[in-house]
Amino acid sequence: QAFFRPITNAAPPSPTKRQTKISVIGVGNVGMAIAQTILTQDLTDELVLIDNKADKLRGEMLDLQHAAAFLPRTKIYASVDYAVTAGSDLCIITAGARQNAGESRLNLLQRNLALFKSIVPPLARYSPQTVLLIVSNPVDVLTYLAWKLSGFPSNRVIGSGTNLDSSRFRFLIADHLDVNAQDVQAYIVGEHGDSSVALWSSISIGGVPVLSFLEKQQIAYEKETLENIHKAVIDSAYEVISLKGYTSWAIGYSVASLARSILRDQRKIHPVSVLAKGFYGISNEVFLSLPAQLGRGGVLGVTNVHLNEEELQRLRDSAKTILEVQTQLDL
């Protein structure tokens, strides 16, 4: 006997909308922060978790499922087998090897390359239409590898890039000027890491461009103050890691905001890692962050922001830094 008695003479259901499915690869601190933000923000009908540690994976799945009474209805699955990801609209990769004491960044990258060779091809096979969103570090080089390993068009391979750095930047500017961070428009582009580029000329608050406002008012601003804010952005990940061991909440919200823009076709502009060849005089196949419009198809376009000479030079240097690492890899 069914729990509900069906209504007789009910009209046949209208063609149902296709369900949305997100897969998160790697259920460490970052993967789980992303998963829980996605759940609380009701961004998907199905959420799949993948990891190679079966017990931890099942534990995390059960723990999330037990919150069902407090969450929107989302089916949560977990498996070590990639078949469970089939038909995903978005696959978010957070799996990564941890740096061993004394290990060089290049060696770490070589190990992450081996890991990506076991992750990206099955994802691409089971979900040939998916958008790949890479979070694992070093994110720009790993996004390039994911692009090569998937064989996808570049608009469907995105790195979370400087979306998080830009949010840290907006927080620090807002804190400095005592305004709401959501009213601060400001971009950090380039490499997610030490060679990132702050676009000072792009900063506006409530539509008022900050630098030209200060100049017009003949208010002296110290270049050093601006540089210090950018330096604080670069240092903030190191600071959080030295204090709590890893970063999780901000990257969770940052990636959930990207998932929303992509799956809900928001056409919102985010600084994310995209194939930069052909933009701002970059001629190599490198991925780095540029302000990109995101929607259902992934990257829809790159904004033509005005960069001054210094910003342009720094962006090209950032591209060079990434390329140097990339060319040392055994693909």
Residues tagged active-site? 192
Q: Which is nearer to ligand 6V0, 53 or 267 (CB)?
A: 53
Residues that bind ligand 6V0 (CB under 6 A): 25-31, 50-53, 94-96, 98, 115, 118-119, 135-137, 139, 160, 164, 192, 246-247, 251
User: Which of 47, 117, 57, 98 has its CA nearest to residue 81?
Assistant: 57
Q: Which is nearer to ligand 6V0, 118 or 212 (CB)?
A: 118
In whole angstroms, the minimum distance from the beta carbon of 215 to ligand 6V0 comes to 33
How many Å apart are CA 254 and CA 251, to the nearest integer?
A: 5
Structure tokens at 237: 């990940």
How many Å apart are CA 20 and CA 88, to the nearest integer?
A: 7
In whole angstroms, the minimum distance from the beta carbon of 245 to ligand 6V0 comes to 8
Cβ-closest residue to ligand 6V0?
A: 28
User: Is the CB of residue 38 less than 8 Å from the CB of residue 8?
Assistant: no
In whole angstroms, the minimum distance from the beta carbon of 22 to ligand 6V0 comes to 16
H/E element holding 164?
helix 163-177
Q: Which is nearer to ligand 6V0, 93 or 210 (CB)?
A: 93
Q: Which is nearer to ligand 6V0, 52 or 110 (CB)?
A: 52
In whole angstroms, the minimum distance from the beta carbon of 134 to ligand 6V0 comes to 8
Structure tokens at 30: 């970052």
In whole angstroms, the minimum distance from the beta carbon of 17 to ligand 6V0 comes to 31
3-state SS assignment for residue 106: helix
Structure tokens at 83: 């078949």
In whole angstroms, the minimum distance from the beta carbon of 137 to ligand 6V0 comes to 3
Q: Which is nearer to ligand 6V0, 94 or 202 (CB)?
A: 94
Q: Which is nearer to ligand 6V0, 177 or 241 (CB)?
A: 241
Strand partners, 25: 50, 93
- Residue 79: which region, alpha, beta or left (left: phi > 0; alpha: psi -120 to 50)? beta
3-state SS assignment for residue 81: coil
Q: How far is CA 328 from CA 92, 107, 141, 157, 196, in A?
A: 26, 10, 11, 22, 21
How many Å apart are CA 175 and CA 185, to the nearest integer?
A: 14
List, as one string, the DSSP characters of 204-219.
EETTEEHHHHHHHTT-
239 CB contacts (<8 Å, ≥6 apart)?
A: none
